[in-house]
Chains A and B, each alone.
Chain A
């Protein structure tokens, strides 16, 4: 099935952005709390993991709609590489909850978002 040129693709993209707000949005809150930049807002892991599930599902759907095109896109290659590092750090290093791991998490996830946004700019 091709998702390109159909109304389905923008809808899946939109759900991906909603997942982004929940996933990275709650990671940022937790990291900023670790850095004591904002007050404690209680448990967030449900939103974080729910958002991650939504992002992986919609991301996979978009990727497999035209896998070769994405694999040839330099911005996608960079995004995928940083994403794997960010995910690995999220489930290991970040558990330590230190200021350093919080800053690392903020930098890694922000880089994933910036590289992801650039996919459209490097599309051929």
Chain B
């Protein structure tokens, strides 16, 4: 059966960028460090429910997605088969959906997304192990 996500992971696996990322000693650790630094810089803006921080939050999310994409690119097939990575992606999609709730459910959506973010962090640590 044709599996588009697996095909993308296979294609990324064979790109020159994947090869240079995984052959370099320091590139992936540095990108990983920036990824964690972004959590430290922008995590507070997720906890503090403040509409005026929206732009600041988007900057943080962009940094996390960009560094996260490069981290994925460094080992696409391993991550494709990692149960924790799959859980992480699912939780991120759910966070996106929680943000789309109508405004009268905004408080509920906020509390649910906090729990989901905690799940994202747990799943992310799990990826380092399997």
| Interface residue ranges, A against B (CB under 8 Å) | 10-11, 13-14, 17-18, 20-22, 24-29, 32, 38-39, 41-42, 44, 47, 109-110, 113-114, 116-118, 120-121
Contact = CB atoms under 8 A, between A and B. Distances in A.
Interface string B15-29: 000000000000001
Q: Is the interface of A mostly helix, strand, loop or mixed?
A: helix
B52 A110 contact: no
A38 B55 CA distance: 9
B50 A17 contact: no
Contact of B37 (A11, A32, A114): A114
Given A41-B53, A113-B36, A47 B128 contact: no
Contact of B47 (A10, A32, A47, A120): A47
Given A18-B118, A39-B52, A41-B52, A25 B40 contact: yes
Interface of B: 29, 32-33, 36-37, 39-48, 50, 52-53, 56, 117-118, 121-122, 124-126, 128-129
Contacts of B33: 113-114, 117-118
A44 B39 contact: no
Most buried by A among B42, B44, B45, B126: B44
A24 B39 CA distance: 9
B4 to A, nearest CB: 31
Nearest to B40: A24
A3 B23 CA distance: 31
A29 B52 CA distance: 12
A41 B49 CA distance: 9
26 contacts: A10-B129, A11-B122, A17-B36, A17-B121, A17-B125, A18-B118, A21-B43, A21-B44, A21-B46, A21-B117, A22-B44, A24-B41, A25-B43, A26-B44, A26-B47, A28-B42, A38-B52, A38-B53, A41-B50, A41-B52, A109-B40, A110-B37, A116-B36, A117-B32, A117-B33, A117-B36
